[in-house]
Structure 1
Amino acid sequence: MKKLAFVLSCAAVFCLTSAFAQDANLEKLGGFKTTGTPMMEPIPQTGENAEALKAIAAKIKVPDGFKVGLYAIVPDARHMAVGPQGVVTFVGTRKELVYSMTDRDKNRVADDVKVFAPSIKMAVPNGVCFSRDGHLYLAEQNRVLWFPAAEFFYEGPDVAAFAIVKEGELIPASNESYNHTARTCRVGPDGRIYITIGQPFNVPAPEVLPEFQKLGIGGIISMKQDGSDRKIYARGMRNPLGLDFNPKDKTIWVNDNQVDGMGDTIPPGEMNHVTGPDQNFGFPWYGGGKTRTTEYKDATVPEGVIFPAVEQDAHAADLGLSFYTGKQFPEKYRGGIFSTQHGSWNRVDPVGARVLFTSLKADGSADKTEVFAEGWLSEDGEYLGRPVDVQVLNDGSLLVSDDLAGAVWRISYGTK
């Protein structure tokens, strides 16, 4: 027992020392000083793994005129942020690393993929987003970092970095969890940063709701780009992931993952349309759509609850969402929404692992949703990949990240 206690004590000292070192590195980067961190080797983009991934790409079905190719090998690839200048795309993960991927020869395949800012210890660095003037923001599990010149100073291990929301201040440390901790972000037309914050439970107990609603846990918060003036923008969500602004009317669309354990076919997944601040989207009184949760079936529903703009297949795990702002695709797709389904994990008959397209009506409301790309889930129920995010490259093609395959796919139209 004494030996075990000694080992645990040493481990605790090591963790504290490591944490202090990482905090010191962030402080150094904020002061434009070097950290002495070596550059990590680029991720190999050729070889057997690349060939195997290309074979998967060949199995993906897309509409006539489109094609799917391997854009980059990126371990654990999650949500992405395309640089405004088209120089580099950053890829977050649910682990400890963020990657940069660069297509240097402009052949629409990334030839340089490496770890970004390796001197900074990160925790679930899933949410990356750019401002229009090139500032990169990273929403971690419980911190928000700012990289003011990431697109042009990402090559070396050191890059200017600042914590605009310090560790432990995005949510109280007491509310940290291993569940629903991946954040996503966007910089809105108003210049504010919008961040999704999932709540940690399948269905939370009534006694925790007041604190969650006060903090914006289970919804969308916004803040200025320096981290100040935090506001709650939307409530009543379970685990929102993937949001974007409609360029035409500046309203938010966001996917929300709904309650597990109610059955294979209920409740539906949600794509919500947030048309203004302080709206409530019904969770936990509703488990998804108009399906009441067992825990809150007799509770009084708040007034003005808004139901989803689009009901998706139950437990398909809708994640990434982006408006198509490019010009490469046919007119049908311009101004519509591409979204991803990660695929079910606890459903008897698995569903998902695909990219969807939702068209909009003239008034900005949802029209029709259809499958755009599928094949990552085989007919035998085997996952060949799990799409996470979808982003538009500057040439108008579509990037799709995949954390199972460890890849980023590119969907293009015609000969481009």
Structure 2
Amino acid sequence: MNATLKLLPLAVGAMIACLPAARAAQDNVSELSNFRQTGNSQPAETIAQTGKTADALRENLKQIKVPPGFKIELYAVVPEARHMAIEPSTGVVFVGTRKNRVWQVTDRTKQRVASDVAQFASSVTFKVPNGVCFSPDGVLYVVEQNRVLGFPAAQFFGEGGPDVAAAVVLAQGKLIPTQFESFNHGARACRIGPDKKLYIALGQPWNVPPKDKLAELDRNGLAGIIRVDQDGKNREVYAHGVRNSVGLDFNPKDKTLWFTDNQVDGMGDDTPPGELDRATKAGENFGFPWYGGGKVRTVEYKDQNPPAGVVYPQVEFAAHAADLGMSFYSGKTFPQKYQGGIFVAEHGSWNRTKPIGARVMYVPVKDDGTAGEAEVFAEGWLTQSGEYMGRPVDVQMLQDGSLLVSDDYAGAIYRISYSGAK
């Protein structure tokens, strides 16, 4: 048993003691965090990996264009697949959703295709468990709309049925003030930083927030990125002025935090731009709501002075392409051009008169740590007639250096690999 598991009962016990008695008595997580069974005998939901759906998805992938030497294949059928976390030692993929499921995707034969897909921790009632990320020592963090849970050795406990070992990192209602809960911008993203802290991107519930709400939003880290210790303590706002980030990662070389940000709606088809931002230290402000994206001022705050020292984006993406998950490529199997760069999933526009996006972008990173010019890496999920065949959400690298792409519209995960120029 590793150190994390040995310490879990003590750490969890301390956290549970702080919960209100009524909630502790009713919450399955309280039972699970004390290694007690919940009595749930309902089998976990499983998803068939063969049949008409899988066949149709493979057929659709024939329309996807990738650079020479690359190929894209179906990795798994996963309903509403959003953000992914890949367990460091086994490669088991955990997949969040905007509904109430977390999925466990296992490749048992190492043929780089899923053997089975099953519901993870079905004893837990999740609410928008979009954000999933692993610590280096194998703890899976699930960031819901308004709660954060930790699952040590998730890939092993998840095999045993609905009950798993769990710990409450931030209890229900403690991630954000409950009055700011909303179906709009409620999907979180997370990463463990080089400082071993848990970083969480928090959207805010408006297109542009009212002026009288701005101070409270900022104080609680909404419209920003917070960080906490892995037990939930020592919370602080790391980045301010971020409208709705649903993707973040750290540059392995210089340890800076990069993140996508979605721009203000309703300002026109071609403005303002989407963003890829770089935070070099705690406390920086990235301009929202004074700026709607890039250097474009919002109508609501055009007469207000922006904070001093606003940090502008490293990359301005096409307006309303909905840039979501992002990941640095640290592998060696892709050509040198892509090594050390960033892959970004564009979910696709929802309110643009001519749709755009539904593709994977690539952004090179220069020797000085800044971004080069973005380019399209994989596209074709948006047809010429403007119909979506799929909508990419997240990009993560498998241990073999191939790239996984999640798609919540088609309900799938794809794998992009490189076998040499043709």
- Normalising by structure 2, report the TM-score: 0.93
Give the whole-Å Cα distance in 2 for the aligned partners of 1:24 and 1:175.
23
The counterpart of 1:242, out of the listed 233, 241, 247, is: 247
Report the residue type matching 2:319 in the other structure. Answer: A
Give the match for residue 364 of structure 1.
369
Tell me if the contact between 2:24 and 2:30 (Cα under 8 Å) persists in the aligned partners: no
Structure 1 segment 285-304 matched on structure 2, within 5 A? 285-304=290-309
Deviation at 1:204, TM superposition (A): 0.5
- In the alignment, the residues of structure 1 paired with residue 94 and residue 102 of structure 2 have an alpha-carbon distance, to the nearest angstrom, of 7
Write out per-residue CA displacement over residues 205-227 of structure 1, whole angstroms, 9 at most, x where no aligned residue: 11001101111100100000000
Q: Distance in 2 between matches of 1:315 and 1:204?
A: 19
Contact 2:44 2:120 in 1 (8 A): no
2:28 paired with 1:25: yes
Structure 2: runs of 5+ lacking an equivalent: 1-21
1:280 is aligned, of 271, 275, 285, to 285
Q: Deviations 1:364-414 (Å, cap 9, x if unpaired)?
A: 100121000000000110000000000000010000000000000000001
Cα contact 2:91–2:398 (8 A) shared by 1? no
* Residue 257 of structure 1, CA deviation: 0.3
Alpha-carbon offset, residue 57 of structure 1: 1.3
The letter for the 2-side match of 1:93 is T
Match of 2:265 among 257, 260, 264: 260
Match of 1:331 in 2: 336
**Residues of 1 paired with 2:238 and 2:364: CA distance?**
25
2:215 counterpart letter in structure 1: P
Checking the alignment, whether the CA contact within 8 Å between 1:139 and 1:185 is kept in structure 2 is yes
What is the Cα deviation at residue 56 of structure 1? 1.2
Q: For residue 222 of structure 2, what is the aligned residue in structure 1?
A: 217
What is the aligned counterpart of 2:201 among 196, 204, 227?
196
> Is the 1:29–1:35 contact (alpha carbons within 8 Å) kept by the matching residues of 2?
yes
Which of 64, 68, 78 is the equivalent residue of 1:64? 68
Q: Give 1:13's aligned residue.
A: none
Measured in 2, the distance between the counterparts of 1:358 and 1:238 equals: 21
Deviation string for 1:165-219 (max 9, x for gaps)?
0000100111111100000000001100000000110001110011011111001
Partner of 2:322: 317
1:21: how far off? 9.8
Question: What TM-score do the two structures reach when normalised by structure 1?
Answer: 0.94
Which residue, out of 85, 96, 101, partners 2:100? 96
Structure 1: which 5+ residue stretches go unaligned?
1-18
- Partners of 1:209 and 1:24 in 2: CA distance: 33
Say whether residues 1:143 and 2:164 are aligned partners: no
Aligned twin of 2:10: none
SS at match of 1:114: strand
In structure 2, give the amino acid aligned to 1:141: Q
Indicate conservation of the 8 Å contact 1:98/1:116, yes or no: yes
> 8 Å contact 1:270–1:312 — kept in the other structure?
yes
Q: Is 2:390 the counterpart of 1:381? A: no
The alignment status of 1:130 with 2:130, answered yes or no, reads no
Residues 330-349 of structure 1: matches in 2 within 5 Å? 330-349=335-354
Q: Structure 1 residues 122, 276: closer, same or farther in 2, change over 3 A?
A: same
* 8 Å contact kept, 1:321–1:340: yes
Equivalent position of 1:233 in the other structure: 238
Separation in structure 2 between the aligned mates of residue 102 and residue 172 of structure 1, nearest angstrom = 36
Q: CA RMSD in A?
A: 1.2
In structure 1, how many angstroms separate the alpha carbons of the residues matched to 2:212 and 2:341?
40
CA displacement at 1:327 relative to structure 2: 1.2
Give the Å deviation of 1:41: 3.8
Structure 2 counterpart of 1:122, which letter? F
Q: Distance in 1 between matches of 2:77 and 2:128?
A: 19
Q: Deviations over 1:107-155 (max 9, x none)?
A: 1100110000001001100000000110110110000001012122211
Match of 1:305 in 2: 310
Q: Is the 8 A contact 1:237 1:281 kept in 2?
A: yes
Compared CA separation, residues 111 and 31, structure 1 to 2 (3 A): same
Shift of 1:20: 6.5
- Contact 2:91/2:399 (<8 A) preserved: no
SS in structure 2 at match of 1:233 = strand
Structure 2 residue identity aligned to 1:335: G
Residue-by-residue CA offset, 1:231-260 (whole Å, 9 max, x unaligned): 100000110110000000000110000100
Secondary structure of 2:362's partner? strand
CA distance in 2 between partners of 1:23 and 1:254 (Å): 37
Query: Is residue 34 of structure 1 aligned with residue 37 of structure 2?
Result: yes
Q: Report the number of matched residues.
A: 397
SS in 1 for 2:374: strand
Corresponding residue to 1:413 among 407, 411, 418: 418
CA distance in 2, matches of 1:398, 1:211: 39
Partner of 1:6: none
User: 1:258 touches 1:268 (CA, 8 Å); kept in 2?
Assistant: yes
Query: Is the contact between residue 49 and residue 115 of structure 2 (CA under 8 Å) also seen in structure 1?
Result: yes
Please state whether the residue corresponding to 2:157 is helix, strand or coil. Answer: coil
Structure 1 residue 59 displacement after superposition? 1.0
Rate the CA distance shift 1:144–1:22 in 2: closer, same or farther, 3 A. farther
Give the drift of 1:328. 1.2
Asked if the contact 2:130/2:188 (under 8 Å) is kept, the reply is yes
**Secondary structure in 2 matching 1:300:** coil
Q: How many angstroms does 1:163 deviate by?
A: 1.2
C-alpha separation in 2, matches of 1:295 and 1:100: 43
Alignment of 1:395 with 2:400, yes or no, is yes
Residue type of the alignment partner of 2:270: T
Structure 1 residue matching 2:364: 3-state secondary structure: strand
1: distance between equivalents of 2:27 and 2:293?
Answer: 44
Distance (whole Å) between structure 2 residues aligned to residue 322 and residue 225 of structure 1: 21
Query: 2:3 — aligned with what?
Result: none
Using the alignment, how far apart are the partners of 2:337 and 2:411 within structure 1? 30
